[in-house]
Amino acid sequence: MALTSERPVVVIGGGPAGLMAAEVLSQAGQAVHLYDAMPSVGRKFLLAGKGGLNLTHSEGAQVFAGRFGARRAAIESVLQDFGGGALRAWALDLGVETFVGSSGRVFPVDMKAAPLLRAWLHRLRQPTQGVPVQFHMRHRWTGWDAQGALSFESPAGPVQVPALAVVLALGGGSWARLGSTGAWVPLLARLGVAVAPLKPSNCGFDVRGGWSPYFAQRFAGQPFKSVAITIAPGAVGEPVFQRKGEFVATATGVEGSLIYAASQRLRDALEHSGQAQFYLDLLPDLPLERVLAEVAHPRGSRSLSSHLKSRLCLEGIKAAILRERVPKEAFLDAAVLAAAIKAVPIALQAARPLDEAISTAGGVLFEVINPDLMLEQLPGVFCAGEMLDWEAPTGGYLLTASMATGRRAGLGVLNYLRST
């Protein structure tokens, strides 16, 4: 049964969460108008897919849900309706085949985001069932007017839009140039909606004291490959963090997949105690005993640098970080040097700014929304995507949860309309 009335449902935000909410409403026959401040939709989605669009992850539902940490319970209920398998089936229905990579991550066969987005927008504009979604670009949401209509700034001036219901899918606060500015926070806070402060997630860090000019000039932008990091527990009951992978040295610190995986732990430590540190294992595939044996092996007339390169393949950025962060006296004692190779201390000073982060922590608290993602204080107003208070590592979890919450919000709107 069609739900269309003279007033539409409005979706604000043209990222994956907003588009998914719009699709659910459109297919149900509900008139839906989507507004976005940018000239086109899906800008962050397209940029995230430049190196290969990581749609989701193939791991089991329990492990997948565990990636959301403290918000597991809230996100898990949404993922039960639309998890990684459902997302892959949805993509296939758009004509986009996917495959599972060696890491368990799921990608389109052609690795590209643009073909999927084009197919998705075509279906939204010309659906085989339901009604077309109406798109309004360059419309920046500024709140509600005195009569309760949605207010926008547009190229033609202020616009007021009465709506049956609204889905807010405005993103977090990272990559502001692509539309996620966090400008919605004061608009909702002013109405008493509880919002946790936005914080960088999956972010880089500045090292304490900075790199030496030599290291910064010579090695910024170069990767640490086949390394591991360890973070000691910062609180009672907190487990040791250990993971192998890769990351990159920047002009001021570190970033990359291995750092992003630890970013929540490191960021929270900086917030709580003003300090954070990880230990870098330059040779995670060799036990300490083997490293010590190689370091202590007679080197004859060779320099220590040549010896380490010959015996342990320590050269380039790995050799440089030893000189950068390990005291000179450590190089005079084989046992101390071997221990340092297995645990170079890297002290951090601060997380990089929110706008540089891949994603955002914080947002609208789940405690102030119902299971349909409707704000308890604002009936008919739903929230989805990264503007909700959750975070997850990279690996397909962010996109899956954004789309799943968009779908849940769309279904929530339909439930709301049927009950009013």
- The DSSP result for 99-142, as a single string, is EE-TTSEEEETT--SHHHHHHHHHHHHS-SSS-PPEEE-S-EEE
Residue 81: partners with Cβ closer than 8 Å, 6 or more residues away:
404, 407, 408
Per-residue confidence band for 48, with pLDDT thresholds at 50, 70 and 90: confident
For residues 308-324, average pLDDT: 96
Q: What is the reported pLDDT for 6?
A: 64
Q: Nearest-CA neighbor of 369 among 242, 188, 246, 248?
A: 188
| Phi, psi angles (nearest 5°) of residue 303 | -70, 160
For residues 293-301, average pLDDT: 93
Question: Over pLDDT 70: what percentage of the chain?
Answer: 98
pLDDT of residue 183 exceeding 90, the answer is yes
Q: What is the reported pLDDT for 266?
A: 96
Buried b (16+ CB within 10 A) or exposed e, 198-216: bbbbbbbbbbeeebeeebb
For residues 60-65, average pLDDT: 95
Residue with tokens 């046992």: 335
Report the alpha-carbon distance of residue 142 to residue 181 in Å, rounded.
Answer: 13
Residue with tokens 């398998």: 85
pLDDT of residue 60 exceeding 70, the answer is yes
For residues 225-242, average pLDDT: 87
For residues 74-82, average pLDDT: 95
Q: What is the reported pLDDT for 203?
A: 97
Specify the pTM.
0.92
Q: What is the reported pLDDT for 244?
A: 96
Per-residue confidence band for 7, with pLDDT thresholds at 50, 70 and 90: confident
Per-residue confidence band for 3, with pLDDT thresholds at 50, 70 and 90: very low
For residues 7-30, average pLDDT: 97
Per-residue confidence band for 180, with pLDDT thresholds at 50, 70 and 90: very high
Paired strand residues for 10 = 33, 166
For residues 209-232, average pLDDT: 97
What are the angstrom distances between the C-alpha of 276 and each of 204, 208, 231, 272, 394? 13, 9, 9, 10, 21
Q: Domains of the chain, with CATH numbers?
A: 9-201+360-419 (3.50.50.60), 205-351 (no CATH)
pLDDT of residue 2 exceeding 60, the answer is no
User: DSSP letter at 7?
Assistant: S
Report the alpha-carbon distance of residue 193 to residue 378 in Å, rounded.
Answer: 9
For residues 331-358, average pLDDT: 96
Q: What is the reported pLDDT for 235?
A: 66
Of the CA atoms within 13 Å of residue 107, those in its CB half-sphere come to 17
The two three-digit tokens of residue 235, written as one number = 């609180």
Of 41-50, 115-124, 344-353, 357-366, the range with the lowest mean pLDDT is: 41-50
Per-residue confidence band for 4, with pLDDT thresholds at 50, 70 and 90: very low
At residue 286's C-alpha, the angle toward residues 284 and 289, to 5°, is 125
Q: What is the reported pLDDT for 236?
A: 58
Question: Over pLDDT 90: what percentage of the chain?
Answer: 93
**Count of helices and strands (H, E) across the chain:** 15, 19
**Across all residues in the chain, what is the average pLDDT?**
95
